[in-house]
Amino acid sequence: MLRFTKRSEYGLIALAYLGGQGDSYCSAREIVDTLGLPRRLCAEILKSLSTAGLVEAIRGPGGGYRLKREPSGLSLSEVITVLEGPLRMANCANGGECEKEAACLIATGVNRVADDIQGVLSSFTLADLIAEAQAKINAPTPAIQV
Amino acid sequence: MLRFTKRSEYGLIALAYLGGQGDSYCSAREIVDTLGLPRRLCAEILKSLSTAGLVEAIRGPGGGYRLKREPSGLSLSEVITVLEGPLRMANCANGGECEKEAACLIATGVNRVADDIQGVLSSFTLADLIAEAQAKINAPTPAIQV
DNA sequence: ACAAAATAGCACCATTTCAGTGCCTTTTCA
DNA sequence: TGAAAAGGCACTGAAATGGTGCTATTTTGT
């Protein structure tokens, strides 16, 4: 339960990778080949991130993606919202087909939980993930390659 | 994303209801009829909660369910774990088919997030939900009945 | 002893979401 | 003008989720 989808997982992985590459552009191909992720799926994810303005995309040879913002300014909350849509803990907590008073029994409390979880996700940034990732990118093997 | 399943939702609702009924036993039927929840599904959920020792079940006429523990001692974390299994944010974070170093790029960080979220869920108790629910059970209509 | 109340157990179906893929188009650099 | 790269579109298979029906077993009350 309460798990990330692959979209979020791959998205965060790709972002962490981009974060470790500085200002240079990385092609989707490089990313998926380096990290061993499914190509098309990641392409879609990167596109979403691009549309949302989290990464910058440049076409053509030499192009690719790069972060549009400092990793420390990119919260997990934002990334996940882009890739999975907004948080909705219980059905009645959001949009609102809450006809049965039942759901509402816990709506208020659940909303409070949701807020706290959202807070956790907001408190973590891409920089936090990258801090961990750095060691793995730059340490054992020069760079994981295909 | 990161949403409760219906199992958790209904489970929490039922527990909140039981919490408002003191020491008396409430039949599954009473619960679902009062709250307008799907019968069979809730019966399964109550059975799970009973197996896990969170509620007490008594068969036969006059029987039913009741909380086996003080609401303030029952964390959401526990309830949700019973009804949905353990938290697992990313695949590589748990059991371990983590062949691709990719997933591990964020594993450590994601695990930290998961811990924090688990912390949030542990910090909320059934009593918190009931506090909200009480008003709705005892206020507008004497008691929602069939 | 019997009937009714209640939980327990089993097997199944429908829908939605998720993960993943293929193919073609457009842009852009060399 | 050719190759590299992002972008767009439509589709498929698998799994999780939500939900239901029927029957068995236990227990109380009459």
Compute the CA torsion angle B82, B85, B87, B88 (nearest 10 deg). Answer: 180
Q: Higher confidence at residue A26 or residue B86?
A: A26
Give ∠ CA B7-B81-B90 in degrees, rounded to 5. 100
* pLDDT tens-digit series, residues A30-71: 999 999 899 999 999 999 999 999 999 999 999 999 999 999
CA–C1' B9–D8 (A): 38
Shortest distance, CA B63 to any CA of chain A (angstroms) = 22
Q: What is the pLDDT of residues B49-85, one digit of tens each?
A: 999 999 999 999 989 999 999 999 999 999 999 998 8
Q: Do B2 and A113 touch (CB under 8 A)?
A: no
Confidence of residue B87 (pLDDT cuts 50, 70, 90): confident
Check: CB of residue B105 under 8 Å from CB of residue B33. Answer: no
pLDDT more than 70, % of chain B? 77
In angstroms, the CA of A28 and the C1' of D7 are apart by 12
pLDDT confidence bin for B14, thresholds 50/70/90: very high
The residue assigned the tokens 């990719």 is: B102
Q: What is the CB neighbour count within 10 angstroms for residue B40?
A: 9
Rounded CA-CA distance A133/A140 in Å is 12
| A139: region left, alpha or beta (phi > 0 left; psi from -120 to 50 alpha) | alpha
pLDDT at B146 over 80: no
Nucleotides of C under 7 A from a protein CB: 4-10, 17-23, 26-30
Helix (H, G, I), strand (E, B) or coil at A51: helix
Q: Which of A100, A123, A132 sits opposite B36 (nearest CB)?
A: A100
Which position has the higher pLDDT, B107 or A39? A39
Residue nearest to nucleotide D21 (CA to C1'): B40
For A6-86+125-138, CATH gives 1.10.10.10
Asked whether the beta carbons of residue A113 and residue B90 sit closer than 8 angstroms, the reply is no
pLDDT range class, residue B93, cuts 50, 70, 90: very low
Q: Is the pLDDT of residue A145 over 50?
A: no
A143 pLDDT above the threshold of 50: no
Q: Are A1 and B4 in contact (CB under 8 A)?
A: yes
Query: Of residues B110 and A143, which shows the higher confidence score?
Result: B110
What is the SS3 assignment for A55? strand
A12 neighbourhood in chain B, CB within 8 Å: 106, 110
B1 pLDDT more than 80: no
Nucleotides of D under 7 A from a protein CB: 2-10, 16-22, 25-29
| pLDDT score of B144 | 37
Tokens (6 digits) for B60:
């036969």
How high is the pLDDT of residue B108?
85
Q: Which of B1, B4, B12 sits opposite A85 (nearest CB)?
A: B1
Q: Do the beta carbons of residue A124 and residue B104 sit within 8 Å?
A: no
Among B9, B21, B8, B7, residue whose Cα is nearest residue B64 = B21
For the structural domain made of B6-138, what CATH number should be given? 1.10.10.10
Residue B135 confidence class, pLDDT cut points 50, 70, 90: low
Phi and psi of B93, rounded to 5°? Answer: -70, -20
Q: Do A137 and B1 touch (CB under 8 A)?
A: no
Confidence of residue A88 (pLDDT cuts 50, 70, 90): low
CA dist., res. B27 & res. A6, Å (int): 41
Report the alpha-carbon distance of residue B89 to residue A109 in Å, rounded.
Answer: 23
